[in-house]
Structure 1
């Protein structure tokens, strides 16, 4: 995310061809010792951990083509667990801590049985759940349990670099001119440059990477495995839509859980039959939900999480609060398998068995 924000801040002043110097990074970087995972995509990461994957293409109603990856189960009769990443992230984020530290692989090894779909979202992936499940009852009926890691709904108290997005609302036209009107695709060579030149564990600039990461996710990244830090960086900023970035800017500016604002009363009327974007009434959501929040999460501030708890309280199964967790610890933290994955898997297993789960806050 910080590379996205840095990219936005300098793009006006750099000849686009200037990024060409980064295109040599991939071949140059291979001359020094770089973990090959830096260059792997999701199917390759899955295969490297001993699993088989499938790739599916899904075309949305508005013309976007999405890649969905499936980790094939080792045995039959497994439940379906859908994992949704956050803004400028990708499926890679779930796969970066090897076989015994990555949620998809642990799910494959431990969860048995088959019923309805489990949904696990991280960051914007949780926001998509709150919006979608509250406004689409048919979709909600297909979800047996919603696990929200770093839950995002109302964004009133976000701080750090992400909060700067709210100032881009007034520059919507400029953003479309800079980023294009459909897909924003940060240069992958920039990510590799950070991963292989600036962020290796033995680099003198490693502290810069840690500081920039902290300005987005929350300070204290001591829970990361620093030997894998270049891999995290290489898979950091991925493609998204320009509209998605602008919608985030609107949510940050207006502090409401609302649909996209098309910028004028007429445009909103044409789209929504009203002059302002409709609000998502997430109080209507009736999907059993587990919230996993962190006290050091700069995007999912505890005050916004408390508002969320009050708003969807009847749907909450459990709230897990981990005091020192920043925005990425839920997936990348060295203790995430024990503190996050294990209790979530236990709740899923109890759902599969039809056990009644008492609402708890821990």
Structure 2
């Protein structure tokens, strides 16, 4: 009798155990190769010495499309699903030369000409302003030089949209390098943000700033072997815990719905994200929530006066963006890129350059890169818009 009971317990537990897919263990280039696609890795050094890694699915002599990821993410976001669902593979199969950037400080861009990320706090002393001022020009200029192209098509997700808008608002000539901008879950203001990020920012934002000022900038949520093991033996082990992990993600980005989210892949996503950033970037986002609009990073009155010439930081003015075509893809179910901030702030500020304003139903903030229907709702329309130029 006891042996039968033990067998039943083991059998039930085996039914609940899931297996971790092989992508869990692979980096972006390995994932690309594993699906039978060509790949290249490029290193580029920014003007302030950070060494960024670009990943390419090369399609020489074809139009170039550049994909830039969100906060705490990496190039993996663009190849995180099957070839028929992942943006990187979908755009390659449609005939484009695909380049994927990585922000400084993430899994693939933890190098500097003279600073050590594990030893030097200075390595982490940067904000979103540095992404737009240094990272984007370095990556895009390298891509254009290597491919001998005058311009490229830019697809940004979340922070990838915020940074390009910042760059173009202060350097209108940079727009000549961008044929079209496709902004997925676009970020301008964050004043109406909802969910767990909003709660943490509104109730703990000051504490976060005080800690950051007291102890100095540091790595924020960097990828580690320890974190990957936790994910593997929690989210990746039992279907019941897998559901819980999915629910936790939803607390930050918005709800999901049937047919748009593959819950079994959540362990894969979480093995690669969060991919790391600076605590300054988190503080900068908190400032956007508090101040409204898009301020430069507030470093405190004395440092602000030294750098900006004023006690308070200036703000980026998106209305100065000109001579570039912008296409927005957003959803009312997105808790980070909200309807209020998109329609109330972003669209009016970009009125001169917005050529398409696509509202996608039942998408949270991550559906635009992790969603199973993004091919139909987002990537296919982008391909059609680009093909109008060819």
1:240 maps to which of 262, 272, 277: 277
2:265 maps to which of 228, 241, 249: 228
Q: Give the structure-2-normalised TM-score.
A: 0.76
Structure 1 residue 131, shift from structure 2 partner: 0.8
Partner of 1:315: 353
Is structure 2 residue 341 aligned with structure 1 residue 304?
yes
Partner of 1:13: none
1:35 maps to which of 3, 11, 21: 21
Residue ranges of structure 1 left out of the alignment (5+ in a row) = 1-30, 354-362
1:101 maps to which of 76, 80, 85: 85
Partner of 1:64: 50
CA contact (8 A) 1:161 1:216 kept: yes
Partner of 2:115: none
Structure 1 residue 337, shift from structure 2 partner: 0.6
2:229 maps to which of 193, 206, 228: 193
Partner of 2:209: 172
Residue correspondences, number: 318
Q: Distance in 1 between matches of 2:282 and 2:79?
A: 24
CA contact (8 A) 1:201 1:227 kept: no
Structure 1 residue 184, shift from structure 2 partner: 3.1
Structure 1 residue 290, shift from structure 2 partner: 0.6
CA contact (8 A) 1:258 1:278 kept: yes
CA contact (8 A) 2:228 2:271 kept: yes
**Partner of 2:267: helix, strand, or coil?**
helix
Pick closer, same or farther for the CA change 1:220–1:227 going to 2, 3 Å: same
Q: Distance in 2 between matches of 1:131 and 1:200?
A: 38
Q: Distance in 2 between matches of 1:139 and 1:115?
A: 11
Pick closer, same or farther for the CA change 1:239–1:171 going to 2, 3 Å: closer
Deviations 1:199-255 (A, max 9, x none): 238432223212211111102253211232221121120111222121111111211
Q: Distance in 2 between matches of 1:268 and 1:182?
A: 20
Pick closer, same or farther for the CA change 1:128–1:41 going to 2, 3 Å: same
CA contact (8 A) 1:131 1:282 kept: yes
**Partner of 2:303: helix, strand, or coil?**
helix
**Partner of 1:87: helix, strand, or coil?**
coil
Residue ranges of structure 2 left out of the alignment (5+ in a row) = 1-16, 98-148
Q: Distance in 2 between matches of 1:196 and 1:112?
A: 35
Pick closer, same or farther for the CA change 1:80–1:185 going to 2, 3 Å: same
Partner of 2:314: 278
Is structure 2 residue 160 aligned with structure 1 residue 125?
yes
Partner of 2:240: 204
Pick closer, same or farther for the CA change 1:112–1:53 going to 2, 3 Å: closer
**Partner of 2:239: helix, strand, or coil?**
coil
